[in-house]
Amino acid sequence: MARTRFTKDAGLSARMGLTMFLNGLIYVVLIAAIWWILGGSTGGVVIAVLLSVGIFWFQWYFSDKVAIKAMGARVVSPQQAPELHSLVDRLCQQADMPKPQVAFADTRVPNAFATGRSPEHSVIAVTRGLLDELEPKEVEAVLAHELSHVAHRDVTVMTVAGVTGIVASLMMRSFLFARGGRNNNGVPIQLLLMLVGVVVYALSFLLIRVLSRYRELAADRAAALLTGSPSTLASALVKISGQTQKMPQQDLRQTAGASHLAFFNVGSLFSTHPSLEKRLAQLDKISNQLSTEL
């Protein structure tokens, strides 16, 4: 975790470490499975390793650009968005952290996201819908939430952890193009590739979803404590939730590509975010704690 004034979260650090370890273990099992499927041939293993290294490198260096493009956002200068930059400047100074690039997406869906491989190479983006719907203090609370993701480095962990799932997904698709044949045990290679890909993808998917829900709660806590106003973040959550539910399905589909990075996510099935009720309950608890300390 970066050294900032955002509250440290031992639970988040432990979960990130466990997620990285288990994803690494799953990846080792994946490589071993490929080796077994191909009857001990090293050619397929080498290809799988080179492919994963290439995906990792791409994810590491271009994840911010891919996320911005997926959301239809663009980086804006202080001259183009002075009020937005002013809010980010103040929060970064308050948190004692490097200022990320600031991006804007001209979409009605009220949302925000952070991405990047490190605090020094990160981007924080907001949509037109968010700026139109929220008061300046509420926007500030949302930005604090996103900046805490950068400070906690959980954005980096999510990016790296996703590589295993991508490789497994490619395996699932490869069975469509793989030539017929059987391994040394007489089992069809196409079927084995698909089954191993499905299992590995499912395990990686679940690990990332569990971490994602916890990191959102950790970001809520950190933002509430940094700004000293949990009720403001709660107000923003309620407003965003109400407006997002009113958005037409076409708008939601257009932003689905970056949903894992978003401040608020629609739907509970396999959701990357905890429920609104759970987030509000936590913020109410923090508010009571702050009132007691005063």
Which residues are known catalytic residues? 146
56 neighbors 163 (Cβ within 8 angstroms): yes
* Rounded distance between C-alpha atoms, residue 290 and residue 76, angstroms: 36
Three-class secondary structure assignment of 223-254: HHHHHCCHHHHHHHHHHHHHHHHHCCHHHHHH
Tokens of 12: 């988040």
In the sheet with 112-118, reading across from the earlier edge strand, the strands are: 73-75, 101-105, 121-127, 112-118
Q: Is 273 annotated as belonging to a binding site?
A: no
Q: Is 138 annotated as belonging to a binding site?
A: no
289 neighbors 221 (Cβ within 8 angstroms): no
Q: Is 293 annotated as belonging to a binding site?
A: no
Q: Which residues are annotated as a binding site for Zn(2+)?
A: 145, 149, 216
